[in-house]
Amino acid sequence: MLIENAKDNTITITVSSSVDKFGLQRLIDYLKYLEATSKSKAKQSAIDELADEVNSSWWEANKARFIK
């Protein structure tokens, strides 16, 4: 594995082709999440509340598909 700082304020990571692609994609997704939320001013409590609201709404809309 090789990690390099580029001149354009980016980081280049080179890995062997033998690295598990699924695991690598999960790592990339996590890095995208970190980048997207790096400047967020949201508090964890507000995020948790929104997540609970979304999950509850989803379950109400979809529970008939799972409980018959």
Q: Could you tell me if residue 42 is inside a domain?
A: yes
- pLDDT of 68 higher than 90: no
Q: Could you tell me if residue 68 is inside a domain?
A: no
Average pLDDT over residues 31-48: 93
Amino acid at position 3, single letter: I
- pLDDT of 34 higher than 90: yes
**Cα–Cα distance for residue pair 36/31, rounded to 1 Å:** 9
The DSSP 8-state label assigned to residue 3 in this structure reads: E
Question: In the chain, how many domains are there?
Answer: 1
**Cα–Cα distance for residue pair 21/19, rounded to 1 Å:** 6
Task: Using the structure block, give the residue that is written with the tokens 């001149």.
Answer: 7
Domain enclosing residue 23, as ranges: 2-63
pTM over 0.85: no
